[in-house]
């Protein structure tokens, strides 16, 4: 894979949008369109609690780093981890200013409960890949904390998940370089999308745009 210039790095968090809907990702990250709804607002409040400006905190044998910037030159992405826990272990990495060896353990905060899809898991895996590259160490597992259940879901970073993440970012770079927004594919999940009014997802259910516009005008006149 050819080297990607820093100015062309993609937002790591964009992978959750891309996996949910490639068109949604393009509207946000290529066309720079965004709209808030109750889902995005609740998610932002939860992240504010995780992103405390005080960077480091120590609890027994765990060092907690909040809002930690991460980057991957190989994937051409950058972003931020909600929380990274460095757990003291017999065999791990050394940290400047701290005695002993540590295991790297990313934690992502999410609103709601675990979803049917794997968008959250792939986002956390992307963070793990960045951390692996930054610390030159294998990151075997992490966790997703869900605000609705108030529980952590432990995630094992398999080779399959890591390859899926790399493939997603490769596709994202191709679309971004072309500045191409994929066409709409309507589904039930569109109803919860903050961009549904901008995206006009109902277009995807009609065979012809003229028919859609005619139906909308007729509906307004009734």
What pLDDT, on the 0 to 100 scale, is given for residue 40? 47
- Are 95 and 134 spatial neighbours (Cβ–Cβ below 8 Å)? no
Residues with Cβ < 8 Å from 101, sequence gap 6 or more? 88, 89, 90, 91, 92, 93, 94
What pLDDT, on the 0 to 100 scale, is given for residue 105? 98
Kindly tell me the number of DSSP H helices and DSSP E strands found in the chain: 7, 8
pTM here?
0.81
- State the DSSP string of 160-171: HHHHHHHHHHHH
pLDDT in tens, the chain (222 residues): 557 889 999 999 999 999 999 999 999 999 988 655 444 444 454 455 555 444 578 888 999 999 999 999 999 999 999 999 999 999 999 998 889 999 999 999 998 888 878 999 999 999 999 999 999 999 999 999 999 999 999 999 999 999 999 999 999 999 999 999 998 778 888 887 888 888 875 554 544 445 545 555 554 454
What pLDDT, on the 0 to 100 scale, is given for residue 217? 59
What pLDDT, on the 0 to 100 scale, is given for residue 94? 94
Instruction: Identify which of 23, 19, 168, 45 has the alpha carbon closest to the alpha carbon of residue 111.
Output: 45
Instruction: Identify which of 200, 71, 195 has the alpha carbon closest to the alpha carbon of residue 129.
Output: 71
What pLDDT, on the 0 to 100 scale, is given for residue 84? 96
Considering Cα of 71, then 72, then 73, then 79, what sign does the dihedral take?
Answer: negative
What are the phi and psi torsion angles at 191 (to 5°)?
A: -65, -30
What pLDDT, on the 0 to 100 scale, is given for residue 45? 47
Q: Which domains does the chain have, with CATH numbers?
A: 6-182 (3.90.320.10), 183-222 (no CATH)
């Amino acid at each position: 894979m050819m080297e990607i210039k820093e100015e062309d790095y993609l937002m790591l968090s964009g992978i959750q949008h891309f996996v949910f809907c490639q068109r949604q990702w393009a509207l946000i990250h290529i066309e720079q369109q965004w709209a808030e709804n109750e889902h995005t607002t609740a998610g932002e409040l939860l992240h504010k609690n995780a992103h405390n400006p005080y960077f480091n905190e120590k609890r027994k044998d765990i060092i907690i780093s909040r809002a930690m910037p991460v980057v991957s030159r190989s994937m051409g992405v950058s972003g931020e981890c909600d929380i990274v826990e460095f757990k003291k272990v017999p065999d791990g990495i050394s940290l400047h200013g701290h005695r002993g060896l540590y295991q790297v353990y990313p934690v992502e905060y999410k609103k709601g409960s675990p979803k049917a899809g794997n968008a959250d898991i792939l986002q956390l895996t992307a963070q793990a890949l960045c951390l692996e590259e930054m610390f030159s160490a294998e990151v075997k597992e992490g966790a997703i904390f869900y605000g609705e259940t108030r529980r952590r879901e432990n995630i094992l970073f398999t080779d399959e998940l890591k390859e899926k993440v790399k493939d997603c970012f490769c596709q994202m770079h191709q679309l971004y370089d072309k500045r191409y927004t994929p066409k709409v594919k309507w589904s039930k999940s569109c109803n919860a999308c903050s961009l549904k009014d901008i995206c006009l997802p109902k277009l995807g259910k009609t065979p012809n745009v003229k028919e859609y516009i005619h139906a909308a005008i007729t509906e307004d006149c009734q």
